[in-house]
Amino acid sequence: MGETLEHLSQCFLQTLSPNPEPRRRAEASLSEMADKPNYGLTVLRVVAEPSVDEQIRQAAAVNFKNHLRARWAPTPSSDAKSYPPLPELSPIPDHEKEQIKTLIVPLMLSSTPRIQSQLSEALALIGKHDFPKLWPTLLPELVSNLQQATDYASINGILGTANSIFKKFRYQYKTNDLLLDLKYCLDVFAAPLLEIFLRTAALIDSSASSGGTAVSLRPMFESQRLCCRIFYSLNFQELPEFFEDHMTEWMTEFRKYLTTTYPALEGGGGGDGLVLVDELRAAVCENINLYMEKNEEEFQGYLKDFSFAVWSLLVTASASSGRDRLTITAIRFLNTVCTSVHHTLFAGAGFLEQICQSIVIPNVRLRDEDEELFEMNYVEFIRRDMEGSDIDTRRRIACELLKGIATNYKDQVTAIISVQIQNMLASFAQNPTANWKEKDCAIYLVVSLATKRAGGSSVSTDLVDVQSFFGSVIVPELQSQDVNSFPMLKAGALKFFTMFRNQIPKEVAIALIPHVVRFLGSESNVVHSYAATCIEKLLLVKAEVGRPRYSSSDVNPFLLVLMNNLFTALRFPESEENPYIMKCIMRVLGVADISGEVAGACIAGLTSILSEVCKNPKNPIFNHYLFEAVAGLVRRACAKDPSLISAFEASLFPILQTILVNDVTEFWPYAFQLLAQLVELNRPPFPQNYMHIFKLLLQPETWQRSANAPALVRLLQAFLQKTPHEVTQDGRLSEVLGIFSKLVSVSSTEELGFYVLNTVIENLGNDAIAPFVTHIWAALFTRLQSHRTVKFVKSLVIFMSLFLVKHGPVALVDSMNAVQPNIFLVILDQFWIPHLRLITGTIELKLTSVASTRLLCESPPLLDASAVILWGRLLDSIITLISRPEQERVDEEPEIPDIAESVGYTATFVQLYNAGKKEEDPVKEIKDPKEFLVNSLARLSSLSPGKYPNVINKSLDPTNQTALLQLCSTYNCAIV
């Protein structure tokens, strides 16, 4: 055993080596040993051995934690999407688990702080799976140690562990099991928690009054912070009886930490003492906010004192930097109060003004850290500023407080803030260079307090007159000749233009777009990103009638400069894969008139970027817009000038080949969609390189990755449509139908199988498909027997309808009955008639109603006297389909999709809007399916007068009888 410990210690030492070779060897050795029995216990012995160097013991503690994470309750890694499959990890045996549980608490409590924090995390990992049911001794053991502990290193170790294992009560849904676990934890831990909280509070009071040092106070404040976090977890689901009975003790201490200063900690010690006290205060604010939100009635008696305590604290904290967490949690509490029935607390004279001047405005002003983020991390700055993920920043939470107050005191708040904005702008006007932050603050307030109209992109504000503010405050920034001066002001102006784009008159906006185009050349990543976003969003604005407000004629005058500046912006450091710029390129290409000159420049720019990203695809959003831009350019340019196709092929083919040959799997779905687009644009005879791709497409290994299937089907459909002659040569049709059989046999790809089959039926003649029809029906009937889903049966009805309109009712019935005698009537009775009403989609609805009508009026088996009941039911189903709105006919499908949601780049299929397939109407010669039905019925009934009215009366639902009468009247047809 000693040798093993020695060997393990050596391995852990080598994992810390700066040289990769010994480090890798040690990691491989540890990985091999981890499969052996009692590995976790042996590592724990290394951690516990005092003679071993502290650094090695810490590395062992980290390894132990990771070992538990992977093997305490390993999840099976049978994910088909993982390449290669991850090896299965053997779980830790139960007897070893029990020994680990016995040893871990005492070892954690006797360890040094760094090792203690690793073991505490390891303990929480076990607790996540086993606590409380499989580890009933844990909580009593923690409580016993807590009551005996005298030093705060141990106390805080226990509280830190308890905090970790109780966190689940904050995040899990309320269930009976969760409430039973919570009750158990409250019964065992609530009283000891209050006891240690009050004991520590008394020690802090006596230490603070007798001049205690920062060193002695620090662990006590950490202890109180942990108690507050545990309080939050145990109170999160509902107010426990114990906490309600002892509310006064808790609230008295909470209020004290908000109103007392601790000079020993806050005054010295390099500022981290103040951070520690503020962390405790922030935890208190979260607790009282929780009570305000969930237990308002019980908390009401304490509310006034807390509101003024938090307010006073905020006035001080808002004036200093670095106290963000406290400021944010405190403002959130005030916001909860402002939007509750207790808002009148702030209604007194001068209160609203003080909140605005002493809390809101100081927190909205730019800070050094905002400027630093703007310059150093533009992605994070934009995420917070433009995309609204800044709810946890001082600027945004202060604006949320203003909105909160304005829910009940709108006129007063508007008046106060309007005056503040005018003062800021006046201050800027006096000295623009020195006071530019005043103007930034004014713009930020107007933008942040704007309200969005429900369901649209329009925003409005009562603070300023938008057009006058835009003209006097924003336009001068946009017209500034120096695109690099005061970049934060420029960004604010561009953001304002973007936000209020619907209110800016078209002629004003068009005159300013060339200025916005100049800002694409700004060195600031935020500024050129905001300029791109501004143009992109402007092009989405709708006119009153729903058409785009800006058309190609508005964009064309500055199109070349715009595209040049957009591609140039992608050369700035850190903007090489800037998604805002690429999205703008995509949007402009979707609006502008693409001349040969523009097309040439754009395809050169886009293919050059494509070549780069193929080497290392790392930004999924940028890459999606890149492929959309390429697809949009190809679609629009070639529609205008088909002679450009060959130039596009020359540029794109080498890259698409690189993607396929170098196995850039992330881009395969995109490559196949672009190829499909190029195939559809071509005319036979097809160049040889396309036919190589067609051969590749028919190979089974191409279809192994399920993520590629939708794009491959899209490409296969394009070939079937454009090269039907080649499909029927050299046994290719047999291979195509093999792909159909494989896809249709699995529920996650069955719809794709039908896409292939439908395209075959639409584009190939009867002679070509006749030898295969029996096999097609056999494959479909087999699937119908083994696993039928609503989606499958609907797809089957659509396919049978397509077959009927292409080859006639007799061919449909005879080919089906050739597989099994009389199976057609069984399928009609059990599947076609019941599922017809569920069909959705304009083309699908028209196709199936026309096909069903032809079946009704032209199919001999249905016109036979023995099939009269089926005939009536089919007619009833057709009338339901064509006369009732979708929501009445179709229930929500209870089916759960088979494809798991995936994150980032697990090569899932993402559809390119610009490379979408144009839907063809297979019955375009029939304009109106309703008219077709009544005309067909009138013709049929005239051959056997008196036969059909009787069937209709017996078979049709009364609502459908009325609907049929109405249709006959509308189209002036009679059923006799």
- In terms of Cβ atoms closer than 10 Å to its own Cβ (0-12, 13-18, 19+), residue 38 is middle
- 556 contacts 598 by C-beta, under 8 angstroms: no
Residue keyed to tokens 């503010």:
469
Percent of the chain at pLDDT > 70 equals 95
What is the per-residue pLDDT for 516? Answer: 98
Provide the strand spans (E) within 385-540: 451-452, 459-460
Above 90 in pLDDT, residue 552? yes
- 274 contacts 266 by C-beta, under 8 angstroms: yes
State whether residue 548 is helix, strand or coil. Answer: strand
**Per-residue pLDDT tens over the stretch 151-210:** 999 999 999 999 999 999 998 889 999 999 999 999 999 999 999 999 999 999 999 888
The span from the CA of 6 to the CA of 56, in Å, is 11
Nearest to 394 by CA among 368, 422, 424, 421: 368
Above 90 in pLDDT, residue 912? no
Range with the poorest average pLDDT among 213-217, 267-271, 324-328, 881-885: 267-271
State whether residue 558 is helix, strand or coil. Answer: helix
- 870 contacts 861 by C-beta, under 8 angstroms: no
Above 60 in pLDDT, residue 901? no
The span from the CA of 670 to the CA of 905, in Å, is 13
- 556 contacts 594 by C-beta, under 8 angstroms: no
The span from the CA of 87 to the CA of 106, in Å, is 34
What is the per-residue pLDDT for 907? Answer: 42
Mean pLDDT in residue range 86-111: 88
pLDDT band at 906 (very low <50, low <70, confident <90, very high): very low
Within 10 A of 579 (CB to CB), how many other CB atoms are there?
21
Question: Dmax over Cα atoms in the chain, in whole Å?
Answer: 112
**Per-residue pLDDT tens over the stretch 292-339:** 999 999 999 999 999 999 999 998 888 787 788 999 999 999 999 999
The span from the CA of 440 to the CA of 493, in Å, is 9
Q: Calculate the dihedral angle through the C-alpha atoms of 11, 13, 14, 20, rounding to the nearest 10 degrees.
A: 140
What is the per-residue pLDDT for 83? Answer: 35
What is the per-residue pLDDT for 73? Answer: 86
Range with the poorest average pLDDT among 66-80, 882-896, 898-912: 898-912
Amino acid residing at 195 = E
What is the per-residue pLDDT for 904? Answer: 36
- In terms of Cβ atoms closer than 10 Å to its own Cβ (0-12, 13-18, 19+), residue 137 is exposed
**Per-residue pLDDT tens over the stretch 780-823:** 999 998 877 888 999 999 999 999 999 999 999 999 999 999 99
Mean pLDDT in residue range 359-374: 91
What is the DSSP secondary structure assignment for residue 355, as one 8-state letter? I
Range with the poorest average pLDDT among 1-5, 43-47, 745-749: 1-5
The span from the CA of 523 to the CA of 491, in Å, is 12
- In terms of Cβ atoms closer than 10 Å to its own Cβ (0-12, 13-18, 19+), residue 320 is exposed
Say which residue, 386 or 196, is predicted with more confidence: 196
Summary mean pLDDT of the chain: 90
Out of 39-43, 698-702, 783-787, 940-944, give the one with best mean pLDDT.
39-43
Residue keyed to tokens 């699908």:
844
Q: Which two tokens stand for residue 976?
A: 């006799």
* CA distance between the termini of the chain: 99
Range with the poorest average pLDDT among 138-142, 403-407, 418-422, 429-433: 403-407
What is the per-residue pLDDT for 910? Answer: 73
Above 70 in pLDDT, residue 399? yes
Q: Which two tokens stand for residue 3?
A: 């040798």
Amino acid residing at 246 = H
**Per-residue pLDDT tens over the stretch 646-668:** 899 999 999 998 998 888 888 99
Question: What are φ and ψ of residue 320, in 5° steps?
Answer: -120, 150
Mean pLDDT in residue range 9-16: 92
Element (H, E) at 496: helix 487-499
pLDDT band at 2 (very low <50, low <70, confident <90, very high): low
**Per-residue pLDDT tens over the stretch 571-585:** 999 999 999 999 999
Q: Which two tokens stand for residue 405?
A: 């107050």
Element (H, E) at 68: helix 54-71
- 586 contacts 628 by C-beta, under 8 angstroms: yes
State whether residue 109 is helix, strand or coil. Answer: helix
pLDDT band at 456 (very low <50, low <70, confident <90, very high): low
Amino acid residing at 788 = R
b vs e for 198-231, b when ≥16 Cβ sit within 10 Å of the residue's Cβ? bebbebbeebbeeebebeebbebbbbbbbbbbbb
Say which residue, 240 or 914, is predicted with more confidence: 240
